[in-house]
Chains A and B, each alone.
Chain A
Amino acid sequence: TQLLEQSPQFLSIQEGENLTVYCNSSSVFSSLQWYRQEPGEGPVLLVTVVTGGEVKKLKRLTFQFGDARKDSSLHITAAQPGDTGLYLCAGRGAGNMLTFGGGTRLMVKP
Protein backbone atom coordinates (compact mmCIF):
# COMPACT_ATOMS: atom_id res chain seq x y z
CA THR A 1 0.00 0.00 0.00
CA GLN A 2 1.35 3.41 -0.98
CA LEU A 3 0.67 5.98 1.72
CA LEU A 4 0.61 9.75 1.32
CA GLU A 5 0.95 11.77 4.50
CA GLN A 6 -0.27 15.36 4.43
CA SER A 7 0.71 18.01 6.93
CA PRO A 8 -0.60 19.92 8.65
CA GLN A 9 -4.01 18.29 8.97
CA PHE A 10 -5.62 21.59 9.94
CA LEU A 11 -4.56 25.18 9.32
CA SER A 12 -6.36 28.35 10.33
CA ILE A 13 -4.83 31.63 9.20
CA GLN A 14 -5.72 35.27 8.64
CA GLU A 15 -6.35 36.72 5.20
CA GLY A 16 -3.12 37.88 3.61
CA GLU A 17 -0.84 35.33 5.26
CA ASN A 18 1.27 32.82 3.36
CA LEU A 19 1.15 29.07 3.95
CA THR A 20 2.69 25.82 2.79
CA VAL A 21 1.08 22.38 2.79
CA TYR A 22 3.17 19.23 2.49
CA CYS A 23 2.55 15.80 0.98
CA ASN A 24 5.09 13.07 1.76
CA SER A 25 5.57 9.42 0.95
CA SER A 26 8.23 6.74 0.98
CA SER A 27 7.02 5.62 -2.46
CA VAL A 28 7.87 7.01 -5.87
CA PHE A 29 5.02 8.33 -7.98
CA SER A 30 4.88 8.77 -11.73
CA SER A 31 2.75 11.86 -11.21
CA LEU A 32 1.18 13.77 -8.37
CA GLN A 33 -1.96 15.85 -8.31
CA TRP A 34 -3.46 18.45 -5.99
CA TYR A 35 -7.21 18.86 -5.56
CA ARG A 36 -9.36 21.31 -3.63
CA GLN A 37 -12.64 20.16 -2.15
CA GLU A 38 -15.34 22.41 -0.72
CA PRO A 39 -17.92 21.16 1.80
CA GLY A 40 -20.58 18.99 0.20
CA GLU A 41 -18.81 18.86 -3.16
CA GLY A 42 -16.40 16.57 -4.94
CA PRO A 43 -12.67 17.31 -5.30
CA VAL A 44 -11.64 19.59 -8.15
CA LEU A 45 -8.29 19.06 -9.84
CA LEU A 46 -5.89 22.01 -9.46
CA VAL A 47 -2.68 20.72 -11.00
CA THR A 48 -0.72 17.66 -12.11
CA VAL A 49 3.08 17.47 -11.78
CA VAL A 50 5.03 14.70 -13.48
CA THR A 51 8.74 15.59 -13.49
CA GLY A 52 10.99 15.51 -10.44
CA GLY A 53 11.72 19.09 -9.33
CA GLU A 54 8.88 20.48 -11.42
CA VAL A 55 7.30 23.74 -10.26
CA LYS A 56 3.91 24.93 -11.47
CA LYS A 57 2.12 28.14 -10.63
CA LEU A 58 -1.60 28.80 -10.64
CA LYS A 59 -2.17 32.46 -9.74
CA ARG A 60 -1.23 32.66 -6.03
CA LEU A 61 -0.67 28.89 -5.72
CA THR A 62 2.76 27.33 -6.31
CA PHE A 63 3.11 23.55 -6.57
CA GLN A 64 6.42 21.69 -6.42
CA PHE A 65 7.21 18.02 -7.04
CA GLY A 66 10.20 16.67 -5.12
CA ASP A 67 13.33 15.71 -7.02
CA ALA A 68 12.85 12.04 -6.11
CA ARG A 69 9.11 12.19 -6.94
CA LYS A 70 8.20 11.09 -3.43
CA ASP A 71 6.89 14.37 -2.05
CA SER A 72 5.22 17.61 -3.01
CA SER A 73 4.33 20.98 -1.57
CA LEU A 74 1.65 23.57 -2.16
CA HIS A 75 2.42 27.18 -1.27
CA ILE A 76 -0.30 29.83 -1.18
CA THR A 77 0.71 33.48 -1.19
CA ALA A 78 -1.53 36.11 0.40
CA ALA A 79 -4.32 33.68 1.25
CA GLN A 80 -7.91 34.80 0.75
CA PRO A 81 -11.15 33.52 2.31
CA GLY A 82 -12.00 31.95 -1.03
CA ASP A 83 -9.02 29.62 -0.59
CA THR A 84 -10.80 27.91 2.32
CA GLY A 85 -11.30 24.21 1.72
CA LEU A 86 -9.82 20.73 1.94
CA TYR A 87 -6.61 20.34 -0.06
CA LEU A 88 -5.85 16.80 -1.18
CA CYS A 89 -2.75 15.42 -2.80
CA ALA A 90 -2.99 12.23 -4.87
CA GLY A 91 -0.14 10.17 -6.31
CA ARG A 92 -0.22 7.75 -9.20
CA GLY A 93 2.05 4.83 -8.41
CA ALA A 94 2.30 1.08 -8.80
CA GLY A 95 -0.39 -0.38 -11.01
CA ASN A 96 -1.19 3.14 -12.20
CA MET A 97 -3.55 3.51 -9.25
CA LEU A 98 -4.32 6.93 -7.77
CA THR A 99 -3.86 7.13 -3.99
CA PHE A 100 -5.10 10.12 -1.99
CA GLY A 101 -3.58 11.66 1.09
CA GLY A 102 -5.67 12.44 4.16
CA GLY A 103 -6.03 16.10 3.27
CA THR A 104 -5.26 19.47 4.82
CA ARG A 105 -8.24 21.49 5.95
CA LEU A 106 -7.53 25.19 5.44
CA MET A 107 -9.56 28.03 6.88
CA VAL A 108 -8.74 31.60 5.92
CA LYS A 109 -10.37 34.18 8.16
CA PRO A 110 -11.21 37.63 6.80
Chain B
Amino acid sequence: EAEVAQSPRYKITEKSQAVAFWCDPISGHATLYWYRQILGQGPELLVQFQDESVVDDSQLPKDRFSAERLKGVDSTLKIQPAELGDSAMYLCASSLQGAGANVLTFGAGSRLTVL
Protein backbone atom coordinates (compact mmCIF):
# COMPACT_ATOMS: atom_id res chain seq x y z
CA GLU B 1 0.00 0.00 0.00
CA ALA B 2 1.33 3.44 -0.95
CA GLU B 3 2.53 5.58 1.93
CA VAL B 4 3.64 9.12 2.64
CA ALA B 5 7.23 8.93 3.82
CA GLN B 6 8.60 11.36 6.39
CA SER B 7 12.00 11.75 8.00
CA PRO B 8 13.33 11.98 10.56
CA ARG B 9 10.72 10.36 12.81
CA TYR B 10 12.20 12.03 15.86
CA LYS B 11 14.40 15.10 16.24
CA ILE B 12 15.75 16.68 19.40
CA THR B 13 17.45 20.03 19.02
CA GLU B 14 18.43 23.00 21.09
CA LYS B 15 16.73 26.35 20.67
CA SER B 16 18.28 28.63 18.06
CA GLN B 17 19.43 25.63 15.99
CA ALA B 18 18.18 24.89 12.49
CA VAL B 19 16.06 21.82 11.76
CA ALA B 20 14.66 20.33 8.56
CA PHE B 21 11.97 17.76 7.82
CA TRP B 22 11.50 15.85 4.60
CA CYS B 23 8.36 14.42 3.03
CA ASP B 24 7.87 12.17 0.03
CA PRO B 25 4.17 12.02 -0.94
CA ILE B 26 2.33 9.19 -2.63
CA SER B 27 3.35 9.00 -6.28
CA GLY B 28 1.01 11.02 -8.46
CA HIS B 29 -0.40 13.13 -5.63
CA ALA B 30 -0.23 16.72 -6.80
CA THR B 31 -1.28 18.29 -3.51
CA LEU B 32 1.02 18.25 -0.47
CA TYR B 33 0.30 19.61 2.98
CA TRP B 34 2.42 20.32 6.05
CA TYR B 35 0.53 20.36 9.37
CA ARG B 36 1.75 21.06 12.91
CA GLN B 37 0.14 19.18 15.76
CA ILE B 38 0.84 20.24 19.32
CA LEU B 39 0.41 17.42 21.83
CA GLY B 40 -3.24 16.93 22.68
CA GLN B 41 -4.54 19.20 19.92
CA GLY B 42 -5.73 18.84 16.35
CA PRO B 43 -3.43 19.44 13.36
CA GLU B 44 -3.06 23.01 12.08
CA LEU B 45 -2.23 23.65 8.44
CA LEU B 46 1.13 25.36 7.90
CA VAL B 47 1.41 25.23 4.12
CA GLN B 48 -0.31 23.64 1.13
CA PHE B 49 1.35 23.00 -2.25
CA GLN B 50 -0.25 22.29 -5.59
CA ASP B 51 2.59 20.74 -7.58
CA GLU B 52 5.49 23.14 -6.91
CA SER B 53 3.33 26.17 -6.14
CA VAL B 54 2.25 27.36 -2.71
CA VAL B 55 -1.56 27.46 -2.46
CA ASP B 56 -1.82 28.58 1.16
CA ASP B 57 0.88 29.55 3.64
CA SER B 58 -1.14 32.04 5.65
CA GLN B 59 -0.45 30.20 8.94
CA LEU B 60 3.26 29.63 8.32
CA PRO B 61 5.46 31.77 10.62
CA LYS B 62 7.56 33.06 7.78
CA ASP B 63 10.16 34.73 9.97
CA ARG B 64 11.50 31.31 10.95
CA PHE B 65 9.72 28.68 8.85
CA SER B 66 10.21 27.94 5.17
CA ALA B 67 8.88 25.22 2.90
CA GLU B 68 9.71 24.20 -0.62
CA ARG B 69 8.66 21.64 -3.18
CA LEU B 70 11.02 22.51 -5.99
CA LYS B 71 10.18 19.73 -8.46
CA GLY B 72 6.62 19.22 -7.37
CA VAL B 73 7.37 15.88 -5.76
CA ASP B 74 9.08 15.73 -2.37
CA SER B 75 9.11 18.63 0.05
CA THR B 76 11.24 20.09 2.83
CA LEU B 77 10.07 22.11 5.84
CA LYS B 78 12.76 24.10 7.61
CA ILE B 79 12.79 25.93 10.93
CA GLN B 80 15.56 28.41 11.70
CA PRO B 81 16.04 29.27 14.49
CA ALA B 82 14.02 26.74 16.45
CA GLU B 83 12.18 27.98 19.55
CA LEU B 84 10.84 26.07 22.56
CA GLY B 85 7.27 26.57 21.34
CA ASP B 86 8.05 24.74 18.10
CA SER B 87 8.03 21.40 19.92
CA ALA B 88 5.30 19.45 18.15
CA MET B 89 4.54 16.70 15.64
CA TYR B 90 5.03 17.85 12.05
CA LEU B 91 2.73 15.92 9.74
CA CYS B 92 2.89 15.72 5.98
CA ALA B 93 -0.11 14.66 3.92
CA SER B 94 -0.84 14.32 0.22
CA SER B 95 -3.89 14.01 -2.01
CA LEU B 96 -4.92 13.80 -5.62
CA GLN B 97 -6.46 16.71 -7.51
CA GLY B 98 -10.09 17.00 -8.48
CA ALA B 99 -12.45 14.36 -7.16
CA GLY B 100 -9.72 12.78 -5.04
CA ALA B 101 -8.71 16.01 -3.37
CA ASN B 102 -10.85 15.28 -0.33
CA VAL B 103 -8.92 12.14 0.60
CA LEU B 104 -5.76 13.03 2.51
CA THR B 105 -3.18 10.41 3.33
CA PHE B 106 -0.92 11.33 6.23
CA GLY B 107 2.60 10.24 6.95
CA ALA B 108 3.64 9.02 10.40
CA GLY B 109 5.00 12.46 11.27
CA SER B 110 8.23 13.95 12.58
CA ARG B 111 8.23 14.64 16.29
CA LEU B 112 10.33 17.67 17.22
CA THR B 113 11.54 18.43 20.73
CA VAL B 114 13.28 21.75 21.28
CA LEU B 115 15.33 22.00 24.48
Contacts and interface: CB of A to CB of B under 8 A. Distances in A.
Interface in A2-30: 4, 6
Contacts, number: 48
Given A31-B102, A33-B102, A48-B103, A41 B42 contact: no
Interface residues on B, range: 20 to 34
A103 to B, nearest CB: 5
A45 interface: yes
A48 B102 contact: yes
B14 interface: no
Contacts of A105: 40
A78 interface: no
A55 interface: no
Contacts of A92: 102
Interface centre among B48, B93, B104 (most CB of A within 10 A): B104
Interface of B is mostly: mixed
B40 A42 contact: no
Interface of A is mostly: strand
Interface residues of A, number: 24
Contacts of A40: 108-109, 111
A5 B28 CA distance: 34
B109 A41 contact: yes
A42 B45 contact: no
A106 to B, nearest CB: 13
Given A31-B102, A100-B44, A103-B42, A42 B111 contact: no
Interface of B: 4, 35, 40-45, 48, 56, 91, 93, 101-109, 111
Interface of A: 4, 6, 31, 33, 40-45, 48, 88, 90, 92, 95-103, 105
